Amino acid sequence: MNDFINKLPPKVILWGGTGQAKVVRPIIEYCGSKVVAVFDDTPNLPPPFPDVPLYLGWAGFQEWIQVQPRREEIGFCIAIGNPHGRVRLRFQERLMAEGLQPVTIAHPTATIAENAVIGVGCQFMAGAIVNPEARIGQQCIINTKASVDHECVLEDGCEVAPGATLCGIVHLGVNVWIGAGATILSRIRVGEDAIVGAGAVVIQDVPAATTVVGVPAKPI
């Protein structure tokens, strides 16, 4: 079902030139593709790699893409972590409109159940686990050693940070960010744009656009 994961075109660009870029590049290259350019909106950003050119913003992208011969052979990976899931979704639309294809990548140590449903543009980092019948939207990041258990639903643009645990049948709305090491108990619903702080234990539903922290998690 998820045959498109790690099926990458020969060339891939990264949007975002900081830490996430450094984590996704080895996965892309493990898949046999080459990272050919990095784009970032931040002026004077130190380039993340000495051997890959860094361009500034959409203007830099326009200049670069104009001289590329075959756009259909170029994929993109949006290397921007949360709480910027909506930014990832916007860039996905813009880059697809330019004829580039989103890549969906999984580190070789990530485990994704055969019958999990995975959206395009997702990133599964080292040791990530996605269990049966989970449904993961577009442009989600399941970070290092994070786990998403059976029948969880993640809408588009979510990130589950390193070491966080979603127990079974958890529902995350669009652009939810679960902080490092947090635990969300079974059947909990977390509303869109909500943030769960690092280390929190969430035992009741979280309303949209609310940040919760602590054990048990409470709004701040």
Does residue 116 bind ligand COA (CB under 6 A)? no
Which residue, 74 or 128, has its beta carbon nearer to ligand COA? 128
Size of the site for ligand COA (CB under 6 A): 14
- Per CB under 6 A, the list member of 112, 161, 170, 194 interacting with ligand COA is 161
Cα 179–Cα 185–Cα 188 angle in degrees, nearest 5 = 90
User: How many angstroms separate the CA atoms of 184 and 29, rounded?
Assistant: 33
With tokens 């580039």, the residue in question is 100
Query: What is the CB neighbour count within 10 angstroms for residue 96?
Result: 14
Does residue 180 bind ligand COA (CB under 6 A)? yes
Does residue 199 bind ligand COA (CB under 6 A)? yes
- Going by C-beta distance under 8 Å and a sequence separation of 6 or more, which residues neighbour residue 42? 17
Query: Residue with CB nearest ligand COA?
Result: 197
Going by C-alpha positions, the residue among 55, 137, 40 that lies closest to residue 91 is: 40
**Of the listed pieces 54-62, 104-112, 114-122, 208-216, which binds ligand COA according to CB under 6 A?**
208-216
User: How many angstroms separate the CA atoms of 208 and 220, rounded?
Assistant: 13
| Contacts to ligand COA from residues 22-81, by CB under 6 A | 81
- Per CB under 6 A, the list member of 214, 216, 218, 219 interacting with ligand COA is 214
Does residue 143 bind ligand COA (CB under 6 A)? yes
